[in-house]
Amino acid sequence: MSEYMEKLHRNERISALQRILCDSPGKVFTLGMFADMLGSAKSSISEDIDIIRGALEKQGLGTVETITGASGGVRYLPMYSGEETLKLAKRLCLELGKKERILPGGYLYMLDMIYNPDIVSDIAKVFAGRFYKEDIDYVITVETKGIPLAFMTARYMSVPLIIVRHYNEATDGASVNINYISGSSKKIQTMVLPLRSLKRNSRLLFIDDFMKGGGTAKGILELSREFECQVAGIGIMIQTAEPLKKLVGSWFSLLTLHNVDEDNGITGIEPSNCLSISGV
Amino acid sequence: MSEYMEKLHRNERISALQRILCDSPGKVFTLGMFADMLGSAKSSISEDIDIIRGALEKQGLGTVETITGASGGVRYLPMYSGEETLKLAKRLCLELGKKERILPGGYLYMLDMIYNPDIVSDIAKVFAGRFYKEDIDYVITVETKGIPLAFMTARYMSVPLIIVRHYNEATDGASVNINYISGSSKKIQTMVLPLRSLKRNSRLLFIDDFMKGGGTAKGILELSREFECQVAGIGIMIQTAEPLKKLVGSWFSLLTLHNVDEDNGITGIEPSNCLSISGV
C-alpha cells in the first residue's frame, strides 16, 4: 500500500488496474508490483487481470499479455484487430478525400489530422500492434510532422523516442551528421543525431507521416548504421503509389495516395494493399 | 451495442469505461454514448462512473467531472494533486542534477527525458490539470523539442495541437510569417504558421520545454494576435532563474534552473516557487 491511501474494492481495483495499464501500454508489470500498489493479494490481482483481459478481447481492442520467466509479468497491448484497422483506414481516406483539403500545387492539407491527438492515437495503436513482436528498443523519426505519430507509437510500445533533426544544436553535445538525398526532390539534406541519443546494437522502428521516394527512410538506415543500430521496422501513415520502387526494401503503410486531381477536386487515396489482403 | 460484440458484466464494463476515459482524457462523453457503446442502461453506467470516480480520487490521480446542461456529460480529468506534482518535480530534479548530464559549455543533456513517454506523460498531466479551467481550444508549441510535451498536453486536454515552424513548407498552403528576437541569444528568428491552422478567436495554451529570456513565448503572443487568437496560458517544463524578468508577464513552470557549475559538476535545479508555495 505504498502509493494508495485507502483500500480499494474489487470494482475500484479493476478501475485502478485498467488505468495503470492504459497509462503505460506495453510496459511489463509484475503481479507483485500491483499487489504492493493496491494493497491486495496477488491472487486477487490475477483474477482482476483476467477480467480486464476478457473485457478488452470482447471489444476487439487489444489484450493483456502474460510474460513468463524471471522478468515476467503482464502488459497491456492495445492492438487493433484487422477489421478495426481497415475501418480506421477507410475513415481516414474519407476525411483526406475532402475537396477542401486540396492546396495549390496539388498538395493535401493534413496538418489538422497528423497533429490531432485522437487520430494520432488511433494510427499509433496500429503501428504499435504491428511491431510489438519486433523487440523494438527505440522509435525514431525525423522532425517535424511525424513527431506526434512517432511519439504516440513510442508511448504505446513503452520505449523512448528519438528525434533526428536537420540542424545542429549546440545544447545537445557532440553529434553524428550525415547527408542524404531526398528521394523525390533530389535535394541534399542533413540529418543530425546527438551521440548520446542511442545505445549501440539497438533495434529501431522508424515512423513517419509520409513516404514518396523513400529517401528519408534510407537516410535513417544509414544513420542507424553509424550508431551500430538496426532498423527493424518502418511504419508510414501515407505512402504514394508512385514511384512504385522506393529507396527502401520493405515497410508498412496504412494508406496509399494515388493522385490528386487539382482541377476536378478529386483525391485518389485508399487503404494500402497490405490491409485489404492480410487484414494486418 | 453498436461497437461491442458481447454483453459485458459490471466488472468488465468498469474496465471498458476506464479504458475509454483514459484513452480520451478531457473529452466529454454522455451517459447515452456509453450506454450505446456497452449495451447497458444509463443508470448502470452512472453507477459505474461513480465507482471509477471514487477509485481515482482515492488514488489522488484525478477525477471524473460531471458537466451539466445540454452539452453535458462526464469527462476524465487526470489531474495530479499538489503533493503528486511536487513529488514529480523533485524526482525530475534528482535526475537532471546528475553530473554526467553536464555538457561542454555548461549545457544540460536532457533529450532522453523530454522524449521519454513516461516522463512526458507525467509532466503533461500537470500542465493539463493546471489549465483545464481555461477553456483552451488549442495547445501551441514551436518545433522541435517541446513537441512531445505539447502533444501529450493536448491529448490530456482533448484539443488539437498546433506546431509553429521555423521554415516555410510549400506543402501546407499559405502561411503567416513573423520575425522575432530570441530573448537570450538576441538572434532574429522566424515563426511560420499555415493560415488554415487556427480558427479565429481561439484560446491557446503555449507549451515548451525550456524558457530563458521568454523571446519564443513573446513571439507566440505576437503570432497569436495575427490570427486574432489569445494566449490563455503558458506552461514551461524548465525556466532559468536568470534573467529574472522575462519578455512575457506570467507563466507556469515546473522547475527552475539556477546554474550549471561545469567545473565542479554541480547543477542547481529545484521545483519552481509556485509549486512549493501554492502546491499548484
Q: Which three cell numbers stand for residue B17?
A: 469505461
Number of domains within chain B: 2
Question: Per residue in A74-85, pLDDT tens?
Answer: 999 888 888 889
Contacts of A194 in chain B (CB under 8 A): 109, 111
Contact A109 B154 (CB under 8 A): no
The answer to whether residue A70 scores a pLDDT higher than 70 is yes
Asked whether residue B80 carries a pLDDT value surpassing 90, the answer given is no
Instruction: Say yes or no for a CB contact (<8 Å) between B15 and A13.
Output: no
Contacts (Cβ under 8 Å, ≥6 apart) of B271: B86, B89, B90, B93, B254, B255, B256
pTM of the model: 0.92
Whichever domain contains B156, its CATH number is 3.40.50.2020
The minimal CB distance from A161 to the residues B24, B115, B163 is found for B115
Residues B201-218 have a mean pLDDT of 96
- Out of A112, A158, A171, closest to residue B117 by CB: A158
pLDDT of A183 above 70: no
Residues A232 and A254 in one domain: yes
Residues of A in contact with B155 (CB under 8 A): 117, 120-121, 152
Q: Are residues A181 and A94 in the same domain?
A: yes
Measure CB to CB from residue A8 to each of B58, B104, B144 and give the nearest one.
B58
* Segment A246-264, tens digit of pLDDT: 999 999 999 999 999 999 9
Q: What is the CA radius of gyration of chain A?
A: 21
Paired sense of beta strands B203-211 and B230-240, if any? parallel
Verify that A209 and A243 share a domain, yes or no: yes
Q: Mind listing the pLDDT tens digit for each residue in B160-172?
A: 999 999 988 878 9
pLDDT for res A83: 85
The enclosing H or E element of A254 equals: strand A252-261
What integer is the mean pLDDT of B186-214?
Answer: 95
Q: Which three cell numbers stand for residue A203?
A: 533495434
Q: Do A121 and B12 touch (CB under 8 A)?
A: no
Q: Is residue B280 predicted with pLDDT exceeding 50?
A: no
Say if B5 falls within a structural domain. no
Q: What is the pLDDT of residues B3-23, one digit of tens each?
A: 444 577 889 999 999 989 988
Mutating which of A1, A9, A18, A172 best tests the B interface, going by the most B Cβ atoms within 10 A? Answer: A18
Task: Look at residue A146 and tell me whether its pLDDT is greater than 80.
Answer: yes
Same domain, B99 and B27: no
Domain that holds residue A69: 10-77
Distance from CA of A232 to the nearest CA of B (A): 20
User: What proportion of chain B, given as a percentage, has pLDDT over 70?
Assistant: 95
The predicted structure's pLDDT at residue B183:
67
Instruction: Establish, for the pair of chains A and B, how many residue pairs have beta carbons separated by less than 8 Å.
Output: 192
- The pLDDT, as a whole number, for residue A22 is 86
pLDDT at position B273 is: 86
Average pLDDT, stretch A275-280?
A: 52
The CA-atom distances, in angstroms, between A214 and each of A109, A177, A183, A204, A240 are 21, 19, 6, 17, 10
* Closest to B269 measured CA to CA, from B111, B92, B129: B92
Question: What's the pLDDT tens digit per position in B235-260?
Answer: 999 999 999 999 999 999 999 999 99
- Which of B8, B13, B18 is most worth mutating to test chain A (most A CB atoms within 10 A of its CB)? B18
All 3 cell numbers of residue B93? Answer: 530534479
Domain co-membership, B204 together with B259:
yes
In a domain, A112, yes or no: yes
Cα separations (Å) of B128 from A133, B68, B93, B150, B262?
33, 21, 21, 10, 34
pLDDT tens, position by position, B28-67: 999 999 999 888 999 999 999 999 999 888 877 788 999 8
Q: What is the DSSP letter of B165?
A: B
Residue where one domain finishes, among candidates A54, A77, A100: A77
Q: Residue-wise over B69-96: b if at least 16 C-beta within 10 A, else e?
A: eeeebbbbbbbbbeebbbebbeebbeeb
CATH number for position B46:
1.10.10.10
Residues A23 and A58 in one domain: yes
Q: Which of B14, B19, B52 sits opposite A22 (nearest CB)?
A: B19
For residues A30 and A131, state if they share a domain: no
Which residue in chain B is spatially nearest to A160 when comparing CA positions? B116
Do residue A19 and residue A156 come from a single domain?
no
Buried b (16+ CB within 10 A) or exposed e, A138-154: bbbbbbbbbbbbbbbbb
Residue B262 lies in a domain: yes
Q: Are strands B230-240 and B252-261 parallel, antiparallel or unpaired?
A: parallel
Residue in chain B lying closest to A163 (CA): B115
Residue B3 in any domain: the answer is: no
Domain boundary among B24, B47, B77: B77
**Hey, are the CB atoms on B12 and A58 less than 8 Å from each other?**
yes
Contact A148 B147 (CB under 8 A): yes
Q: Does any domain span residue B28?
A: yes
pLDDT of residue A279: 38
Q: Say if residue B98 is in the same domain as residue B233.
A: yes
Q: Are both A220 and A140 inside the same structural domain?
A: yes
Amino acid at A250: S
pLDDT category at B276 given cuts 50, 70, 90 is low
The minimal CB distance from A103 to the residues B120, B154, B173 is found for: B173
Residue B263 has pLDDT above 90, yes or no: yes
Per-residue model confidence (pLDDT) at position B185: 73
Q: Answer with the one of A56, A77, A98 that is the final residue of a domain.
A: A77
Same domain assignment for residues A236 and A156: yes
Asked whether residue A165 falls in the same domain as residue A62, the answer is no
- B117 occurs within a structural domain: yes
Mean pLDDT of chain A: 91
- Contact between A121 and B23 using a beta-carbon 8 Å cutoff: yes
The answer to whether position B227 is within a domain reads yes
Using CB atoms, which residue from B14, B115, B162 is nearest to A162? B115
What does the pLDDT read at residue B6?
A: 59
Residue of B279 and A15 predicted with greater confidence: A15
pLDDT in tens, A83-135: 889 999 999 999 999 999 999 999 999 999 999 999 999 999 999 999 988 99
Question: Is A1 part of a structural domain of the chain?
Answer: no
Indicate yes or no: CB of A109 within 8 angstroms of CB of B173.
Answer: yes
| Interchain proximity A59–B155, CB inside 8 Å | no
pLDDT (0 to 100) of residue A265? 95
